[in-house]
């Protein structure tokens, strides 16, 4: 299994929240994991699994290959690891991982998960609404937001569209302007579904169209 699933690298152990670091974020975008840690730390303690406990969600290696017995082993390992830490809310930064954990893991686990999976941005928006997370620095910027495919058009779950905008709206000075194509109609970034790995030229062209639309937004 070690050749299929890479463990995470972030491993402080505190509190009752746990952000899992999927292999894609962990290896390709460590700044995303680090940013989530800083924001969560600004509110209070949280828990993270040790690196040898934190495995991939199973997508796309196992879900795509049909290795169902290995997928079941992975899910049971992860659920038990989370339960052993006493974690109640399972915070996930990768939209695709959230969809898999929330809607596919219960099938392989055999029952409802004993914890609540939710997106990092959902929790941060919740904390911002409750006043637990406060942004004190004023940033005079006009920004736009790209809705990732897996959040705006998930395979199985409900779209997560409002939470990121609510969070951005809590930053003093920020003016949020949506692109023409946003929400459920947002453009693909070109990186999902294995496109970047097998057709990097097509992936780059798709990404360019998204960047041009963002530029036109102002």
How buried is residue 196: exposed, middle or buried, by Cβ count under 10 Å (0-12/13-18/19+)? middle
Averaged pLDDT, 132-153? 94
Question: Taking all residues of the chain, what is their mean pLDDT, rounded to a whole number?
Answer: 84
**Helix, strand, coil fractions of the chain, as percent rounded to 5:** 45, 10, 45
Ordered domains of the chain (ranges, CATH): 1-134 (3.40.50), 135-218 (no CATH)
Give the rounded distance of the alpha carbon of 16 from its chain centre: 18
Neighbours of 216 (CB within 10 A): 10
Distant-in-sequence contacts of 40-43, Cβ < 8 A, 24+ apart: 40/91, 40/120, 40/123, 40/124, 42/133, 43/127, 43/132, 43/133
List pLDDT tens digits, range 90-133.
Answer: 998 888 889 999 999 999 999 999 999 999 999 999 999 999 99
What pLDDT is recorded for position 26?
56
Whole-prediction pTM: 0.81
């Amino acid at each position: 299994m070690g050749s299929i699933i890479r463990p995470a690298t972030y491993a402080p152990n505190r509190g009752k929240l746990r952000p899992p670091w999927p292999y894609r974020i962990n290896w390709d975008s460590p700044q995303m994991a680090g940013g989530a840690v800083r924001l969560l730390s600004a509110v209070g303690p949280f828990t993270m699994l040790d690196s040898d406990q934190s495995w991939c969600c199973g997508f796309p290696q196992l879900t795509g290959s049909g290795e169902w017995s290995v997928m079941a082993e992975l899910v049971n390992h992860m659920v038990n690891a989370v339960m052993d830490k006493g974690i109640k809310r399972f915070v996930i930064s990768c939209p695709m991982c959230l969809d898999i954990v929330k809607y596919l893991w219960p099938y392989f686990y055999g029952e409802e998960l004993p914890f609540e999976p939710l997106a990092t941005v959902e929790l941060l928006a919740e904390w911002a609404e409750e006043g637990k997370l406060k942004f004190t620095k004023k940033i005079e910027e006009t920004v736009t937001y790209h809705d990732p495919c897996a959040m705006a058009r998930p395979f199985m779950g409900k779209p997560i569209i409002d939470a990121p905008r609510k969070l951005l709206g809590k930053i003093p000075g920020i003016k949020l302007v949506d692109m023409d194509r946003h929400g459920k109609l947002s453009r693909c970034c070109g990186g999902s579904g294995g496109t970047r790995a097998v057709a990097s030229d097509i992936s780059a062209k798709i990404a360019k169209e998204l960047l041009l639309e963002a530029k036109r937004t102002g």
